[in-house]
Amino acid sequence: MSTVDPLLLSSSGSADPPSKPAAPARSSVGSLSCLCRADSASSSVYEDCDTASVNLADEGDAVPRRRLESDVSRAAERFQSADSQFFHRLSVECSQKESQRKVSWGGAMEMQRSPSSLETGVVPSSQEKPNRPPRGRNKSSQFEDMLSSEHEHEHDPRLIHINDPDRTNDRYEFTGNEIRTSKYTLITFLPKNLFIQFHRLAYVYFLVIAALNQLPPLAVFGRTASLFPLLFVLFVTAIKDGYEDWRRHRSDRNENNREALVLQHGDFRSKKWKSICVGEVVKIHSNETMPCDMVLLGTSDPNGIAYIQTMNLDGESNLKTRYARQETVPMICNNSYLGLIKCEQPNRNIYEFTATMELNSQRIPLGQSNIVLRGCQLKNTEWIIGVVVYAGQETKAMLNSTISRSKCSNLESYMNRETLWLSAFLLITCSVVATGMGVWLFRNTKNLDALPYYRRKYYTFGRENRKDFEFYGLSLQIFFSFLSSVIIFQIMIPISLYITMELVRVGQSYFMIGDTRMYDSSSGSRFQCRSLNINEDLGQIRYIFSDKTGTLTQNKMEFQQASIYGRNYGSSLQVNSDSSHEITPAESSGQHDRKPKSEINVDSVLLALLNEPLFGEERLAAHDFFLTLAACNTVIPVSTGSSSDLTNELNEVGAIDYQGESPDEQALVIAASAYGYKLIERTTGHIVIDVQGERIRLDVLGLHEFDSVRKRMSVVVRFPDDTVKVLVKGADTSMLGILKSGNDDGLFDSFHAKIRETTENHLSSYSLEGLRTLVIGSKYLNDEEFSEWQERYEEASTSMTERSAKLRQAAGLVECNLTLLGATGVEDKLQDGVPEAIESLRQAGIKVWVLTGDKQETAISIGVSCRLLTQSMQSIIINGSSEFECRLLLADAKAKFGIKSADFGKDYQNTEDLCNGDVTKLRSSNGQVSESGTQNLQLTGVIANDKSECNEKSPNCDYTELALIIDGNSLVYILEKDLESELFDVATSCKVVICCRVAPLQKAGIVDLIKSRTSDMTLAIGDGANDVSMIQMADVGVGICGQEGRQAVMASDFAMGQFRFLKRLLLVHGHWNYQRMAYMILYNFYRNAVFVLMLFWYILHTAYSATLALTDWSSVFYSLIYTSVPTVVVGILDKDLSHNTLLYYPRLYEAGLRNEAYNMTLFWITMLDTLWQSLVLFYVPFFTYSISTMDIWSMGSLWTIAVVILVNIHLAMDIQRWVLITHLAIWGSIAATFLCMVLIDSIPVFPNYGTIYNMAASGTYWLSVILIIILGLLPRFLCKVIYETFWPSDIQIAREAELLKKLPQQSGSWPERDIS
């Protein structure tokens, strides 16, 4: 380490380094642009990672969080290898080993993220892997269309002439700023709305049936009655759509008529938003909303800083920092707005912007930190001035205004299968009727003239006498009979079921959202149900794929330990409370300076070292160590006092609030401040750090932000003495390979090799304690090195294509031969209730996989802490560095533990059955976790924790619990090679899988590995932008409202505040929703089929004619009024077990995994029961009144009442939870049926006029109804009694114990009040 004493004096001037755009919005503060010379770090530089992920405290979370849409869209391409030559061009590294590592990562990941790679590195289709089973393969395909056109015009940038809209729009005719989100106009509403509605197959089906019924030969129902259901649904839907579109029109009108200040004739004047054009200069004041996408030209802040809130774009409430270039400041002062901007074509990516500005013969790079987007609000800044680059429909906000994708639940896919069976049955019954009609007509050909409806001439009085009857011949009569039967039996296809399911899902979602037990009081976030189509899937989840940081942990970082110059600091905090204290203004060497808002504990030994003079290697290393922590970041210091000037307030003690999107960076900056290295100012070209009371101003010459290939971050700074230095921090895997390796002094080499070895030992120790690690290094740059880097850096910064790749090359010039300064250990504590939640989920038969970017040791430590890993588990560790090695490790694991290859769809879940005899055995024993569990997971070889030899012949292998730990480097080879099936065999044989150091696309690949090979339901849960691809790929996506913004929440199906709520969501609401929906589907099949079969038997006894005994309106109202409400109410409110029981016995959840509530066997049993009940319905009245003179309308009245009472009592037999609304729905539906029949029979023009009054006075009528109910439901009742007595299900056992109050009581686990 150099012995040159760093100067601590404030420099009188700066090198006038231009500002640099910040990383993408998620980047900790798009704030960094100010830090780099020539604005070199444009947003596209860091397109590979979301700065929220600058959670650098461990490489783990430093996984890329940018280009997420691109990541997901490429997931279906099976992670093809990239052209190695392309990635060779991306990096210039000192260490060949590091270069090779980057190539392997790039081959797997980079091709799916950077715009440049999209152009130059697309793998030919011939290299694609063989086709795979289609399930889940296209989950992310909706993003392909979104991004397909984003880069097609990279070489054809749009030209924006500042303050010259006429010239700007004369050639290109850019869109105006008027927006339109509405669908219809007065003229197009009716045809367009009908066209959209008839995209639904159900409506087309209804339309065809209604149209057929209008034909005279097929007029089974009254023409008005047949049209009523369709017209009613169309009318209601049209009213709803029209109202929604009217609201859109009103919103658009209000939005377009808002006003903003636009530069006109040398002065800023009000102008309506819709009239603003590309190229105009706009001024926005504090708390106003941006009318369009604008490049900043100046702000009220002297340093060109502006704070914006992007909640309308990405849902994040924290402030982002944007910068105006220093070169554009004279425009504001001189009121002379001239220049040319070349920017990329409009695209959807709100985290990227690539452009250059030509001003006074200079070419100035522009990036994400220099643009403010439409919909953002200006905060904490008096005013800003910008030039419009995208307007109206071309703004990023409008381009992202797309409808979220729709998912289909697992039960619904099964229901569609059964619908096909019912369709086939419908065709069979109609064919039977048509065939019977043909046979009957053929046998009675000679007698047709003597039979009503078939005689060729009318024999009656009046004008109809001797008139020809419409007899169409044998063939046509058969055909008409078939179509008439389709009309009569139309409800066999349960089209109404789809509408019922939507209503039930809305009701279920209402109660899930209202569950106060899933409300997170710490963050104020309640449960969100963002998708209404997959509620029931929550009851059938087999695999959970979880992120670690922010999902299992709190993502609230605390600086705990540091290794500096081979010495460990911070461990004393664990044992000696008096050795640490809180920094206060009085204790700080700079008593009059501001102190950080956060207070942390510090190590007194390290603090004493830092108070010594700057002499000696160890002291200088400590100085540079904390200088790097304070300078190499994207954190912005913000005053919380009365004044915002942090540097000039020398006599006022206040607090500094460090703003940044990365909790890791904030923790490191706060730690540096606590040890006397306070970051107090960050501007577009310099930063000011208070070092032990003295200020040092560092000119920022360039900043290379973290990305997924380099896995590190660096900043090039000039000290007041004109020395230039690069400060670097990053993950150990990326840093250790670029450290200084040799020197002429052998003693020096030996000493520093020992320091490096000690530091590596400290890193391993930190990881075993579950800390997130980071390595710190630095290097002085000589004039030659600096000149070469600066030339390459400025060239890359102004490039309009492949900017990120070129900047990565420039970073490689200085990020080598670094001096090791030390390492950090940051703690990220587990969230409350995580171990208990994971334990319950595992008991429920759910496999929990953790996919994290952390180090292997850290991931294992967290696995033990949250009870994923136990002492009894055998651990399989796959960390190969080549395809051959990965293949060998997988083969060894399979041979050692007797893992056999499985057919797709086979599940290795423990098949031990639940105990059906004693309810107390339902609760499986808790896994005991030893405090020293980590010691049992030694990483000494391929197979760790090998307590006993277990091979293919060992009978105990089948009962050994296995845990698989695999790293992202191995996944690069496995997911891209023909090793997926091997990984699948090993992974599905394990109880636990932990994937460490994985990138976002690899997370999606792991989910796809299971989805494409099994029929099991998958759930992905995460909190950050790097989890979006995984969430989108899974069957069910859950977002955590955490510290890393809301991208995960916005991409998810459900959102919650804490991981522990997942236990209640699945075990309680998931179970209820699945049981309710499964029963409701079967009941709807039964309800419609029993009605159709009753009509079928009647037709068989009426010479196969399409005649009905029921009135037209009774047939229409059967599904619409008579039986619909109870179905919906039961589907929303019924509960087989209380939430206490379901939480206490997690294994009850396995009923959904075994498809107990809905399967093919139950479907056919239901159909057999339906057949019996329909026979009873028809033949009891048939034989009862066989010798009477009852007319068909009276018989129809009896059948209508009987079938409604029968299906409602059938439903009542299966209701588990009776509440007031359930009683009203069941018995109210029966009463409503009587009332409707009375009203219909009271209309004189109807043929059934007065029928109900005569029938209701007859005792035989009521006895027949009672007999129908008893005989129809008796077999079902007997079967239920016998089955539940001799073969009770686990749910039945638990329910009986619950009713008999035999369940064990647990303190605090039985709240008095339950919620639906």
Annotated catalytic residues are 547
Are 719 and 700 spatial neighbours (Cβ–Cβ below 8 Å)?
A: no
Three-state SS string across 655-716, please? EEEEECCCHHHHHHHHHHHHCCEEEEEECCCEEEEEECCEEEEEEEEEEECCCCCCCEEEEE
Are 1258 and 1267 spatial neighbours (Cβ–Cβ below 8 Å)?
A: no
CB atoms under 10 Å from CB of 608, counted, come to 9
358: β partners: 340, 363
Query: Which residue, among 612, 646, 606, has the nearest Cα to 626 in the 3D structure?
Result: 606
Are 1304 and 920 spatial neighbours (Cβ–Cβ below 8 Å)?
A: yes
Q: What is the dihedral of CA 615, 617, 620, 625, to 10 degrees?
A: -160
Distance in angstroms (rounded) separating the CA atoms of residues 817 and 821: 12
What are φ and ψ of residue 562, in 5° steps? Answer: -145, 140
Distance in angstroms (rounded) separating the CA atoms of residues 174 and 157: 13
CB atoms under 10 Å from CB of 1188, counted, come to 10
Task: Enter the tokens of residue 711.
Answer: 């896995």
Q: Which helix (H) or strand (E) holds 478?
A: helix 474-488
What are φ and ψ of residue 342, in 5° steps? Answer: -110, 115
Q: Is 907 helix (H, G, I), strand (E, B) or coil?
A: coil
Q: How far is CA 5 from the centre of its chain?
A: 51
Distance in angstroms (rounded) separating the CA atoms of residues 1049 and 1028: 9
Distance in angstroms (rounded) separating the CA atoms of residues 205 and 187: 27
User: For residue 435, what are the contacts with CB-CB under 8 A and spacing of at least 6?
Assistant: 478
Q: Which helix (H) or strand (E) holds 814?
A: helix 803-814
713: β partners: 729
Distance in angstroms (rounded) separating the CA atoms of residues 1265 and 374: 67
Strands 677-682 and 259-264: unpaired
Read off the amino acid at residue 1162.
L
User: For residue 717, what are the contacts with CB-CB under 8 A and spacing of at least 6?
Assistant: 631, 687, 698, 699, 700, 701, 724, 725, 726, 727
Q: Is 510 helix (H, G, I), strand (E, B) or coil?
A: helix
Distance in angstroms (rounded) separating the CA atoms of residues 411 and 401: 30
What are φ and ψ of residue 606, in 5° steps? Answer: -70, -35
Distance in angstroms (rounded) separating the CA atoms of residues 530 and 512: 11
Are 106 and 80 spatial neighbours (Cβ–Cβ below 8 Å)?
A: no
Query: Which residue, among 292, 82, 330, 349, has the nearest Cα to 177 in the 3D structure?
Result: 292
Q: What is the dihedral of CA 615, 616, 617, 620, to 10 degrees?
A: -20
Q: Is 821 helix (H, G, I), strand (E, B) or coil?
A: strand
End-to-end CA distance of the chain: 67
Read off the amino acid at residue 1161.
T
828: β partners: 557
What are φ and ψ of residue 1013, in 5° steps? Answer: -120, -5
Residue carrying the six token digits 């090195």:
785
Task: Enter the tokens of residue 637.
Answer: 């210091």
Q: Which helix (H) or strand (E) holds 988?
A: helix 980-988
Q: Is 548 helix (H, G, I), strand (E, B) or coil?
A: coil
